[in-house]
């Protein structure tokens, strides 16, 4: 896959974070700007992880039931023999709905995005034992193209994430170019990446890899006998829009404002945390 910009990515300029942050340390803010990611150690304790895991399990079971009914048990980036993905737990679980609006997430969103932030996406990603397929190099903004291009991804390890079971690997510094060209493959979207210069980011359960939607990342196969569990939560500035169409054919043909209060609800408004409405 060649290294090139997405056709809709014209004139992108990364804006470094200036001023003092309340939740993010100066070193973390610097790493976020320069490298495109940082690790937030021991964000949540074992009791909270256990509760979260229990709340995510029904969605994962439904994902498995769906995959059991499709050819070869695979659908895009997901597969019974690779990884199961269950989105939108916040629409099914009161605990999860409030979890993604916890003080830590509010602080990260306010420091790294701004005073007006909505939840954009959430999903569990359970990488299956002895996995058959990796997750290819991609940017989150390569799946659905969003403007502004840079939003926030918090990748929370529910179980220890190691090089053997498929921890996150990143391409440091590439985020400053904006969204790269992606292509569709049978196992998901793919952009340029280089394992020779990539950085693997193992984290223990309860810690998070925090990165921008423009950081190319990938995960190798889970070669262990245990499921590797992660929960991914993403936040975008209020007013962000998704663009749809064929980039190779020309400009976007449709836009969608990312402001559904049932799922893409306020997390921070006018710099203040917002209490989520009940499911």
Q: What per-residue confidence (pLDDT) applies to 222?
A: 98
pLDDT tens-place string over residues 142-164 = 999 999 999 999 999 999 999 99
Mean pLDDT for 103-125 is: 98
pLDDT at 277: 87
Question: The pTM is what?
Answer: 0.97
Mean pLDDT of the chain: 97
Neighbours of 75 (CB within 10 A): 15
pLDDT tens for each residue of 244-272: 999 999 999 999 999 998 899 999 999 99
User: How does residue 54 score in pLDDT terms, banded at 50, 70 and 90?
Assistant: very high
> How confident is the model over 29-45, as pLDDT tens digits?
999 999 999 999 999 99
Distance CA 65, CA 61 (A): 6
In the predicted model, what is the mean pLDDT of residues 37-62?
Answer: 98
Confidence of residue 19 (pLDDT cuts 50, 70, 90): confident
Query: Would you list the DSSP string of 39-95?
Result: EETT-S-HHHHHHHHHHHHHHHHHHHHHHHTSGGGEETTEETTTEEEEE-GGGT-HH
How far, CA to CA in Å, does 123 sit from each of 5, 119, 140, 232, 238? 27, 12, 13, 5, 20
Helices 103-112 and 26-34 meet at what angle, rounded to 10? 60
CATH of range 29-273; options 3.40.50.300, 2.60.120.620, 1.10.760.10, 2.60.120.480: 2.60.120.620
Under 8 Å between Cβ of 108 and 253: no
Structure tokens at 189: 């979207």
How many CB atoms within 10 Å of residue 184? 10
Please, which pLDDT band fits residue 18 given cuts at 50, 70 and 90? Answer: confident
User: How big is the chain, counted in residues?
Assistant: 279
């Amino acid at each position: 896959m060649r290294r090139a910009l997405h056709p809709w990515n014209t004139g992108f300029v990364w804006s470094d974070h200036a001023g003092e942050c309340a939740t993010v340390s100066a070193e973390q803010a610097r790493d976020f700007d320069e490298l495109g990611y940082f690790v937030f150690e021991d964000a949540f304790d074992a009791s909270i992880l256990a509760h979260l895991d229990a709340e995510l399990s029904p969605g994962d079971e439904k994902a498995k039931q769906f995959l059991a009914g499709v050819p070869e048990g695979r659908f895009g980036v997901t597969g019974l023999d690779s990884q199961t993905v269950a989105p939108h737990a916040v629409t099914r679980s009161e605990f999860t709905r409030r979890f993604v609006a916890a003080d830590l997430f509010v602080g990260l969103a306010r420091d790294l995005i701004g005073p007006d932030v909505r939840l954009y996406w959430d999903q569990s990603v359970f990488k299956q034992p002895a996995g058959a397929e990796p997750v290819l190099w991609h940017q989150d903004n390569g799946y659905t193209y969003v403007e502004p291009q840079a939003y926030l991804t918090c990748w929370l390890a529910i179980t220890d994430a190691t090089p053997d079971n498929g921890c996150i690997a990143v391409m440091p510094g590439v985020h400053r170019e904006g969204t790269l060209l992606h292509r569709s493959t049978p196992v998901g979207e793919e952009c340029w990446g280089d394992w020779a210069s990539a950085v693997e980011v193992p984290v223990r359960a309860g810690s998070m890899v925090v990165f921008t939607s423009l950081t190319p990342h990938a995960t190798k196969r889970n070669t262990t006998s245990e499921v590797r569990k992660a929960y991914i939560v993403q936040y975008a500035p209020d007013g962000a829009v998704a663009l749809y169409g064929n980039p190779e054919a020309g400009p976007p043909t449709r836009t969608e404002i990312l402001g559904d209060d049932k799922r893409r609800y306020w997390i921070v408004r006018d710099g203040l945390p917002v209490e989520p409405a009940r499911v």
